[in-house]
Amino acid sequence: MDQSQDPTADAVPPLDVPALEESSDAAPLAAPDGTITADQARLVLRRVKDPELNLNIVDLGLIYEVHVTGANVQIDMSLTSPGCPSGPEIMGEAEQQLRTIPGIGDVTMNLVWSPPWTPERIEPRVRAYMGF
């Protein structure tokens, strides 16, 4: 989609992380030594959107921690509320996207509730666009 078709193109400045094509199945390349990096995992997680808000889970502040040990990745994440009906879908998509990283080992998804998610966790430019 070019910027002329994107209603938020002028409202939200581009983020510092390279954009991924929504339909792209290509995963970022592994680090030069073949290990997985936390930044690489976060980049892949940007492909996952909250279906109700249509914003990616990284910008929404749902990703609390990314732990990498060699090729294994452990994600601590939350949801916007404990009763979020899209929770299983979001977590499943996050795990699926992480598994697209070449050389990925074990992927562990931890759902955490402490600290509770609040709108203050949303990336500041996105929060401003949303009116928070």
In a domain? residue 102: yes
Number of independent structural domains in the chain: 1
Q: Is residue 123 part of a domain?
A: no
Q: Which two tokens stand for residue 78?
A: 């939350």
Tell me whether residue 27 is in a domain.
Answer: no
CA atoms of 108 and 127, how far apart (whole Å): 28
Residue 77 lies inside a defined structural domain of this protein: yes
Say what percent of the chain tops pLDDT 90.
Answer: 67
Mean pLDDT computed over 116-125: 94
Looking up residue 39, the CATH number of its domain turns out to be 3.30.300.130
Residue 24 lies in a domain: no
Q: Which residue has the higher pLDDT, 10 or 27?
A: 27
Evaluate if residue 18 carries a pLDDT over 80. no
Q: What is the mean predicted confidence (pLDDT) over 85-93?
A: 96
111 lies in which domain range?
33-117
pTM given for the model: 0.75
In a domain, 49, yes or no: yes
Residue 92 lies inside a defined structural domain of this protein: yes
Q: Count CA atoms within 13 Å of residue 52 on its CB side.
A: 10
